[in-house]
């Protein structure tokens, strides 16, 4: 039946072996070209037995226009467009005209073909195999680069997929924002991104797992972050050397740098972390060691209802967030100061927890003391992953 159907097709249409074999692509294991050659060979043997002329491969295929013969030329163009780009894995995509796709669809409908494969799928596979053999590169479902080929015009678009790098940062000084602000010269993001952009030859985008205020240090095990490097020319980066350069700033340190997948990057940025803080609390009306200890005891395990702080109301949705304080310890300093070490749910605003933010945070340290209290200094000690 295959040979009979092939004969009917070839009497009506001049096809190359690729396009003939592709009509029966879901039958057996082989390349479409080999399948087409085999079908044509058997068909012509039967025609010869009947005294009929063979149906040879078309000089110019009326379906594809012999586009598969252009593969060696296209490989050279792909090499040219990717020159200077470092990559190990790739994928090939192609753009065929609507006219060719409709012509193929009409042929399938004309002869009741239900075992065929679209031309672009075969072309992508064959060009990908040939390019891999020519360059030693491998195809991948998560490639470093993607070639989008227009087979007839020879136009090739190169999509360079981003690099994702995980790390943790410590901010050792106050007065530096996490991301750039117009009035400040540098930020955690700029200090970290500069050497990465230079090494990779791409645009670096910094994404932190939460943030701390400009006047707050980030100490301890550091805050997790993800770097997305768009359009990198180099992918094999010396993360140790880059970390050394960043750490030499004396302002920001990076730890645990490693390459991650897109999925891993998303998990880092969406995970909710508990945080450990150390706050220096100022009580102008005076505070005793006993009062400091009592406040810590009352905070331990307490559920806090916190409306979006007044100072960030324009940048955050105005709603009440419910957060819990898991641990609290106090150390009395002097008549007006005590230190408060806290472990809380992520997203709890500590400055407002202490001041009460004019009643927007309840209960607050001010409420528990029965007198105004303020956060004079704040450090994030640790970001707790578990």
Domain harbouring 242, CATH code: 3.30.70.2510
Domain residue limits at 234? 163-270
83 and 228 fall within a common domain: no
Residue-wise pLDDT for 300-338, tens only, equals 999 999 999 999 887 788 999 999 999 999 999 999 999
Structure tokens, 212: 């701390």
The model carries a pTM of 0.87
Structure tokens, 77: 């163009």
Residue 58 has pLDDT above 90, yes or no: no
286 and 264 fall within a common domain: no
236 and 168 fall within a common domain: yes
**What is the pLDDT, as a whole number, of residue 302?**
97
Residue-wise pLDDT for 1-57, tens only, equals 899 999 999 999 999 999 999 999 999 889 999 999 999 999 999 999 999 999 999
Q: How many residues can be counted in the chain? A: 386
**What is the pLDDT, as a whole number, of residue 312?**
86
Helix axes 32-49, 2-12, angle to 10 degrees: 90
8 and 128 fall within a common domain: yes
Residue 164 is assigned to a ligand binding site: no
User: How many domains are contained in the chain?
Assistant: 3
> Which positions are annotated as active-site residues?
213
Domain boundary among 109, 139, 160: 160
At which residue do the structure tokens 């030693």 appear?
136
Residue-wise pLDDT for 200-247, tens only, equals 999 999 999 999 999 999 999 999 999 999 999 999 999 999 999 999
138 and 175 fall within a common domain: no
55 and 152 fall within a common domain: yes
* Half-sphere exposure of residue 143: CA atoms within 13 angstroms, side-chain side: 19
Residue 349 is assigned to a ligand binding site: yes
290 and 216 fall within a common domain: no
Residue-wise pLDDT for 156-213, tens only, equals 999 999 999 999 999 999 999 999 999 999 999 999 999 999 999 999 999 999 999 9
150 and 239 fall within a common domain: no
Domain boundary among 217, 241, 270: 270
Domain boundary among 225, 252, 270: 270
Burial of 127 (0-12, 13-18, 19+ CB in 10 A): buried
Residue-wise pLDDT for 96-105, tens only, equals 999 999 999 9
Residue 386 has pLDDT above 80, yes or no: no
176 and 44 fall within a common domain: no
């Amino acid at each position: 039946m295959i040979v009979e159907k092939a004969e009917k097709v070839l009497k009506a249409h001049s096809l190359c072996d690729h396009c003939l074999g592709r009509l029966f692509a879901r039958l057996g294991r082989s390349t479409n070209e080999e399948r087409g050659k085999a079908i044509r060979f058997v068909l012509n043997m039967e025609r010869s037995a009947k005294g009929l002329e063979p149906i040879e491969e078309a000089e110019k295929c009326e379906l594809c226009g012999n586009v598969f013969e252009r593969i060696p030329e296209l490989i050279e163009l792909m090499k040219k467009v990717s020159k200077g780009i470092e990559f190990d894995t790739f994928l090939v995509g192609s753009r065929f005209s609507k006219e060719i796709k409709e012509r193929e669809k009409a042929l399938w409908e004309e002869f009741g073909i239900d075992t065929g494969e679209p031309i672009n799928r075969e072309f992508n596979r064959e060009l990908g195999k040939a390019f891999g053999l020519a360059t030693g590169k491998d195809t991948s479902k998560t490639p470093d680069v993607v070639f989008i080929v227009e087979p007839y015009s020879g136009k090739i678009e190169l999509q360079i997929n981003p690099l994702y790098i995980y790390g943790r940062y410590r901010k050792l000084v106050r007065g530096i924002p996490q991301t750039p602000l117009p009035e400040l010269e540098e930020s955690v993001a700029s200090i970290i991104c500069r050497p990465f952009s230079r090494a990779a030859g791409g645009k670096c985008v910094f994404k932190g797992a939460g943030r701390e205020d400009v006047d707050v240090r980030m100490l301890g095990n550091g805050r997790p972050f993800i770097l997305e490097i768009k359009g990198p020319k180099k992918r094999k980066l010396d993360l140790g050397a880059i970390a050394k350069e960043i750490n030499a700033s004396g302002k920001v340190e990076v730890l645990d740098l490693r390459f991650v997948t897109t999925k891993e990057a998303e998990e880092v940025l969406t995970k909710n972390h508990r945080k450990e803080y150390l706050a220096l609390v100022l009580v102008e009306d005076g505070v005793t060691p006993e009062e400091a200890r009592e406040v810590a005891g009352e905070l331990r395990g307490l559920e806090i209802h916190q409306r979006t702080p007044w100072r960030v109301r324009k940048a955050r949705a105005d709603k009440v967030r419910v957060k819990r304080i898991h641990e609290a310890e106090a150390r009395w300093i002097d008549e007006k100061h005590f230190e408060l070490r806290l472990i809380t749910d992520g997203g709890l605003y500590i400055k407002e927890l202490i001041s009460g933010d004019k009643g927007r945070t309840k209960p607050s340290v001010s409420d528990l003391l029965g007198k105004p209290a303020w956060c004079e200094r704040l450090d994030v000690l640790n970001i707790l992953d578990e």
